[in-house]
């Protein structure tokens, strides 16, 4: 996985709450067997009239050339609903490296982290401050120091991330490599679980 | 201090605790399906390794399959390729596949319990958010993404942080015609579509104890719709009786051993929860949703909130939802015309759901202009329905009994609701476009859906009881 340290970029404001993963990538686009190419269908039904790529919806922010950047800023409860990791793949493929919101759904948060897309949870007032910034304003997300800053005003806030996940992202490690590295422990656990003394004897 | 049901199972599955980090959680059973597994298999193949514990892995094809003429090749090429990829991957990695044409094929969350694979005390995962369904048996069961599917395929483990714990107690007698779908829609309408984010929920209380296993599954199934990682119910005699004798249920001496363990699985009297909610069962009426998230639910006899009843902060979402749904604030939902009725999905497609609908519609006819699809959750459910003559009742009523699959729950396979049409659906999500681009979904119980099929509009099913 690519290392992630500092993201400094303009942002795209998506002032919608409860953005579910069916909106991020509708189910009819989940038929692929690879992880590539989902970006073109990101927010498909909000982006185009009647599913027609020649008719972008003018009122949708991704179609507004005033806004650009590697950071998506959305209202609370981003990524709720289906567990489809395709949502994280679509955001990444489109070019987002971070999503900022006041609240993330659990499964989406894990999926994003597993793909090097950083979910940055900020307070509701700070989120609204970001939304008040103009299209040329930049944000700086400093993963090492766990800070997000509005560059224009200098206002900043700390954000939480587990120490383990932070190390993974800073170094480009992934969970699978880690789990493979402790396979011996896993096999010992299994043999204990299969033993007669285990109360959940042979549950597997 | 006592332990919760969740803690008892969780602690029994911790392989290792990472300092200042997540736990390495051992997974007993891994269900896979065609949509969220191919990229994980590719990951394994790229590393040149085989799936670690194929005997703890079960596969089915459900999301992307047609529900008519399953004996024919799947028409749509990408869907067919995805289902074929699952077949190839399962063969290469030694995983049992209950694919199309197999007598055990069905929706992953229907077949696990039906075959007795789902058992109390287990950890169960699947690349599908409705994995929470299995929690009805007193398991820790939750949905995961494809990277996590790959982790389980590789090591039978996941890295997980312990969630906060919530208990929802529902005590008292349920009203006439109120079924488990109404209970969970009511809960979500009270605590919102994000009210349980970060929590694992245990459902308890006399109203929950009174429910059958299939009814309990409906409740746990929709835990994710309030943001919860999962939901669970302590196993009891109802649970044990349901499992006994099923295809993969333990037998003989092994049954006795497991039963003794299962009986230890409950939250101790002095166990504590991070949050506890009490609900009086008598408050609950038949429910329906009017909006575009499952938290936007009201009694069928109620009205869509008026603007004065909506918090200022929620106003924009509320307006957006009503615009999409083509509905007005403040008006009664009863009498709203519907175009489609979908009875199916991992929420409500089990034999009891079909029996409930059949006993209600027997001798009645669907309204003209309404299309009614009944999609069994598994091939076994379909066969059982035919054996009981339920298919004839549906045929006489003008309902179409199809073959098993996820069908119109998610707008992925051939079964989609056309743009602008209203569908009263027993599924779990009413998101924009969930049942097809532009489709408008009203979530309800199988009884309320069946009532709408008969009258052609949103109806209080109690008015149709003889």
Query: Nearest Cα to B153, choosing from B294, B221, B54, B263?
Result: B54
Q: What is the pLDDT of residue B21?
A: 87
Angle between helices B213-221 and B180-191 (to 10 degrees): 20
Is B223 part of the contact surface with chain A (CB cutoff 8 Å)? Answer: no
The arithmetic mean of pLDDT across residues A27-41, rounded, is 96
Query: Nearest Cα to B221, choosing from B139, B297, B142, B132?
Result: B132
pLDDT band at A33 (very low <50, low <70, confident <90, very high): very high
pLDDT tens for B311-338 read 988 899 999 999 999 999 999 999 999 9
pLDDT band at B20 (very low <50, low <70, confident <90, very high): confident
pLDDT tens for B208-225 read 999 999 999 999 999 999
Q: Model-level pTM?
A: 0.96
The DSSP code for B379 is H
- Window 350-409 of B: residues touching A by CB (8 A cutoff) are none
pLDDT above 60: residue A6: yes
Alpha helices in B94-164 (DSSP H): 108-114, 146-155
What percentage of chain A has pLDDT greater than the value 70? 96
pLDDT above 60: residue A199: no
CB < 8 Å to B53, chain A: 204
Neighbour tally for B419: CB within 10 Å: 14
User: Does B310-465 match B5-275 at the fold level?
Assistant: yes
Q: Which helix (H) or strand (E) holds A21?
A: helix A21-24
Q: What is the pLDDT of residue A1?
A: 74
CATH of domain B5-275: 3.30.499.10
Strand partners, B299: B287
Q: What is the dihedral of CA B461, B400, B212, A83, to 10 degrees?
A: -100
User: Which 3-state string (H, E, C) describes B55-94?
Assistant: HHEEEECCCCCCCCCCCCCCCCHHHHHHHHHHHHHHHHHC
Q: What is the pLDDT of residue A193?
A: 85
pLDDT above 50: residue A203: no
The verdict on domain B310-465 having CATH code 3.30.499.10 is yes
B438 to A29, B255, B432: CA distances (angstroms): 16, 50, 7
The arithmetic mean of pLDDT across residues A115-135, rounded, is 97
CB < 8 Å to A190, chain B: 26, 156
d(CA A88, nearest CA chain B) in Å: 10
Question: How many CB pairs (< 8 A) connect A and B?
Answer: 201
Q: What is the pLDDT of residue A194?
A: 78
Of the partner residues B15, B129, B198, the one whose CB lies closest to the CB of residue A185? B15
Strand partners, B276: B167
pLDDT above 90: residue B434: yes
Of the partner residues A33, A82, A189, the one whose CB lies closest to the CB of residue B15? A189
Distance CA B235, CA A178 (A): 35
B214 to A163, B112, B220, B233, B306: CA distances (angstroms): 41, 12, 10, 12, 36
Q: Which residues contact A93 (CB under 8 A, 6 or more apart)?
A: A36, A37, A38, A39, A40, A42
Of the partner residues A33, A165, A176, the one whose CB lies closest to the CB of residue B39? A33
Burial of A113 by CB count in 10 Å (0-12 exposed, 13-18 middle, 19+ buried)?
Answer: buried
Residue of B nearest to A88 (CA): B145
Strand partners, B240: none
Residue from B145, B252, B265 to probe the interface with A (highest A Cβ count within 10 Å): B145
DSSP string, A52-118: -TTSB-TTSGGG-TT---SEEEE-SSBTBS---THHHHHHHHHT-SEEEES-B-HHHHHHHHTTT-E
Strand partners, B401: B374
The arithmetic mean of pLDDT across residues B270-291, rounded, is 98
Evaluate whether B78 touches B59 at the Cβ level (below 8 Å). no
Strand partners, B169: B204, B278
CA B143 to chain centre: 11
% helix / strand / coil in chain A, to the nearest 5? Answer: 35, 20, 45
The arithmetic mean of pLDDT across residues A116-123, rounded, is 97
Least-confidence region, from B19-23, B73-77, B151-155, B380-384: B19-23
pLDDT band at A197 (very low <50, low <70, confident <90, very high): low
The arithmetic mean of pLDDT across residues A53-57, rounded, is 95
CB < 8 Å to B148, chain A: 110, 114, 175
Each as own residue / partner, the long-range contacts of residues B330-333 (CB below 8 Å, 24 or more positions apart, any chain) are B330/B303, B330/B304, B330/B305, B330/B306, B331/B303, B331/B304, B332/B302, B332/B303, B332/B304, B333/B288, B333/B290, B333/B298, B333/B300, B333/B302, B333/B303, B333/B304, B333/B442, B333/B458
Distance CA B415, CA B136 (A): 28
CB < 8 Å to A193, chain B: 26
Q: What is the pLDDT of residue A195?
A: 76
pLDDT above 70: residue A204: no
Can you give the residue ranges of every domain in chain B?
5-275, 310-465
Of the partner residues A31, A81, A163, the one whose CB lies closest to the CB of residue B79? A31
Of the partner residues A22, A85, A202, the one whose CB lies closest to the CB of residue B433? A22
Do residue B431 and residue A200 have CB atoms under 8 angstroms apart? no
- Window 277-336 of B: residues touching A by CB (8 A cutoff) are 293, 314, 316-317, 320
Which pair of structure tokens corresponds to residue B370? Answer: 């309404």
Distance CA B185, CA B443 (A): 8
Burial of A53 by CB count in 10 Å (0-12 exposed, 13-18 middle, 19+ buried)?
Answer: exposed
Do residue B194 and residue A16 have CB atoms under 8 angstroms apart? no
Which pair of structure tokens corresponds to residue B117? Answer: 């694979």
Q: What is the pLDDT of residue B355?
A: 98
- Window 17-76 of B: residues touching A by CB (8 A cutoff) are 18, 20-22, 24, 26, 28-29, 35-36, 38-39, 42-43, 53, 56, 63-64, 76
């Amino acid at each position: 996985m690519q290392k992630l340290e500092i993201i400094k970029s303009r942002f795209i404001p998506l002032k919608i709450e409860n953005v579910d993963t069916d909106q991020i990538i509708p189910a009819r686009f989940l038929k692929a067997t690879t992880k590539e190419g989902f970006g073109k269908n990101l927010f498909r039904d909000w982006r185009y009239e009647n599913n027609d790529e020649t008719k972008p919806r003018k009122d949708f922010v991704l179609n507004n050339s005033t806004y650009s950047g590697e950071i998506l800023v959305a209202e609370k409860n981003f990524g709720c609903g289906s567990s489809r990791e395709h949502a994280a793949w679509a955001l990444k493929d489109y070019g987002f490296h971070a999503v900022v919101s006041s609240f993330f759904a659990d499964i989406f948060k894990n999926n994003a982290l597993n793909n090097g897309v950083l979910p940055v949870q900020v307070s509701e007032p700070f989120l609204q401050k970001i939304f008040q910034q103009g299209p040329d304003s930049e944000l700086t997300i400093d993963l090492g120091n766990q800070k997000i800053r509005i560059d224009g005003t200098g206002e900043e806030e700390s954000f939480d991330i587990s120490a383990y996940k932070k190390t993974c992202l800073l170094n480009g490690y992934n969970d699978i490599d880690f789990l493979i590295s402790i396979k011996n422990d896993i096999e010992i656990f299994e043999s204990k679980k299969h033993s007669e003394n285990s109360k959940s004897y042979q549950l597997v | 201090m006592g332990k919760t049901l969740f803690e008892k199972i969780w602690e029994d599955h911790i392989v290792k605790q990472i300092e200042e980090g997540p736990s390495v959680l051992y997974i007993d059973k891994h269900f896979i399906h065609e949509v969220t597994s191919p990229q994980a298999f590719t990951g394994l193949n790229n590393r040149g390794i085989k799936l670690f514990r194929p005997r703890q892995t079960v596969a089915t094809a459900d999301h992307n399959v047609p529900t008519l003429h399953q004996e024919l090749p799947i028409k749509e090429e990408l869907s067919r390729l995805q289902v074929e990829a699952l077949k190839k991957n399962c063969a290469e990695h030694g995983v049992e596949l209950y694919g199309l044409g197999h007598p055990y094929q069905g929706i992953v969350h229907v077949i696990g319990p039906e075959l007795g694979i789902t058992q109390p005390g287990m950890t169960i995962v699947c690349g599908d958010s409705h994995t929470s369904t299995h929690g009805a048996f007193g398991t820790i069961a939750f949905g995961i993404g494809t990277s996590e599917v790959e982790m389980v395929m590789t090591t039978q483990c996941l890295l997980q942080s312990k969630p906060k714990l919530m208990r929802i107690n529902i005590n008292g007698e349920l009203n006439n015609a109120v079924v488990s779908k109404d209970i969970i829609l009511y809960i979500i309408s009270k605590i919102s579509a994000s009210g349980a984010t970060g929590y694992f929920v245990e459902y308890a209380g006399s109203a929950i104890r009174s429910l059958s296993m299939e009814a309990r599954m409906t409740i746990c199934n929709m835990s994710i719709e309030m943001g919860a990682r999962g939901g669970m119910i302590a196993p009891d005699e109802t649970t044990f009786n349901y499992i006994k004798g099923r295809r993969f249920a333990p037998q003989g001496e092994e049954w006795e051993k497991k039963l003794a363990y299962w009986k230890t699985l409950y939250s101790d009297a002095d166990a504590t929860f991070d949050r506890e909610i009490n609900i009086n069962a008598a408050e609950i009426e038949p429910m329906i949703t009017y909006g575009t998230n499952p938290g936007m639910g009201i009694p069928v006899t109620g009205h869509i909130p008026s603007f004065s009843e909506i918090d200022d902060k929620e106003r924009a979402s509320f307006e957006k939802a009503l615009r999409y749904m083509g509905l007005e604030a403040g008006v009664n939902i009863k009498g709203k015309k519907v175009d489609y009725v979908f009875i199916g999905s991992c929420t409500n497609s089990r034999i009891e759901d079909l029996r409930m609908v059949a006993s209600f519609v027997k001798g009645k006819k669907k309204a003209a202009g309404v299309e009614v699809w009944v999609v069994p959750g598994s091939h076994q459910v379909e066969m059982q329905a035919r054996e009981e003559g339920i298919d004839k009742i549906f045929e006489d009523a003008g309902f179409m009994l199809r073959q098993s699959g996820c069908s119109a729950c998610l707008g992925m396979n051939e079964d989609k609701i056309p743009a602008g049409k209203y569908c009263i659906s027993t599924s779990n999500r009413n998101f924009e476009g969930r049942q097809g681009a532009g489709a408008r979904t009203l979530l309800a119980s199988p009884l309320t859906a069946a009532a709408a099929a008969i009258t052609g509009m949103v109806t209080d099913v109690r008015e149709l009881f003889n």
